[in-house]
Amino acid sequence: MKKFNIPNHYRSPIIGRIKEIRQENDPRKKDFSPTVLDYGAVRFHIARHFGFCFGVENAIEISYKAVEENPDKRIFLLSQMIHNPNVNYDLQNKGIRFIMDTHGNQLIDWDEIQTEDIIIIPAFGTTLEVLDLLKKKGVATKKYDTTCPFVTRVWKRADQLGKQHYTIIIHGKHNHEETRATYSYSKKNAPSLIIKDMNEAIMLSDFILGNRPVSEFEEAFKGKYNKNFNPKKDLECIGVINQTTMLASETLAISNYLKVVMKKKYGVEDLKKHMANTRDTLCYATNENQDSTYRLLDVDADLAIVVGGYNSSNTSHLVELCEKKLPTYLISNASEVLNESEILHFDFENKKILQTKNFLPKKEVVDILLTSGASCPDTIVENVLNKLLRFYPTSKSTEEVLETL
């Protein structure tokens, strides 16, 4: 796989060495069991795959190149480069300004953008409407387009489905940058509808099977389908794609469920005509991170620490998996580990920061699961590990532990 030129302050000697050892021992990536760092008083069980993915490293490399190549020009990002506050803060310190926030709200008026300005498209991609606006202003966008190739792959699949006369069902969060971009591309060639989860898939099935009046469709999916969407006609033939950072298991479950629904309505013989055989569109990194988390959860541990941005979709799903089994704390950096008794962490369900006491159990050996989202620098994970180690002064040295791997 391509090696990217990203700043050294994102790389970690400890985490980097762990990943190198795993790669050397398992080059085909068949072993998803965690790496165990046994310090004696505390054991860290580190996910097989975590941290920067291909798309993130590509985006960072291009963004820093834009700064280096244009010292005398104004440089703008359409929105957050990725969903990690540390990386976005670094880019802002380089002089890059954000035109929109993560929800699409305008921070800088389009009238301020000039033809000679440098515009960076984030890893999530952007909508056709924004590209058209920039084109009319004469602003070039191709050179510093950091759209993840796995996202563009989904767009191409949507294009294929549209040309085959399928309505596109997008499994995603309708206000997420990537889903907004995917929806923009899909609705160009086909009726398109966004559903968030299995509950909305079940609600959709009521309309497909005629168990719910079409008159209620607008209220049920308000703001999640394109203009002129006709539930009576446009739900006869469907295909499922997704936001690449959603839970793979949920996308598969939704697709299988809707397949059963279409079979119930149209029968087995006509099923292929009414339900496209779409392969999962989740990116390789999301798949690997989630599969690694499932294996991580085979460990009998005391707690899990997930490191990443609070608004990171792929990180949120790692938390979702972990918290089903054991106490789980999402933190953005080591400073949120206040001391050996208290930790600040983000509550996804209620969208607020919590302060929890006695998060580390008092026992002879503490087992901690550790992983991070695809947009989190390895250095931040290393800082978290080192911060936790301070609370166990009798622990072995990291050098000594790494030698046992």
- Kindly list the catalytic residues: 178
Task: Give the Cβ contact number of residue 289 at 10 Å.
Answer: 27
- Determine the Cα–Cα distance for residues 66 and 380; give it in Å rounded to an integer: 24
Using CA of residue 217, residue 222, residue 228, residue 233, what is the dihedral sign? negative
In 22-91, beta strands by DSSP E: 35-38, 42-46, 75-77
Residues 98, 83 contacting (CB under 8 angstroms): no
Position 132, amino acid: D
Structure tokens at 386: 């080192």
Say which DSSP state 130 is in: H
Using CA of residue 178, residue 323, residue 15, residue 393, what is the dihedral sign? positive
SS3 of residue 328 by DSSP:
strand
Burial 261-279 (b: 16+ CB within 10 A, else e): bbeebbeeeeeeebbbebe
Position 371, amino acid: T
SS3 of residue 103 by DSSP:
coil
Annotate 151-205 with DSSP letters as a single string: HHHHHHHHHHHHHTTPEEEEES-TTSHHHHHHHHHHHHHS-EEEE-SHHHHHHHH
Radius of gyration of the chain (CA): 23
The answer for residues whose C-beta is within 8 angstroms of residue 401's C-beta and 6 or more apart is: 37, 38, 39
Residues 331, 372 contacting (CB under 8 angstroms): no
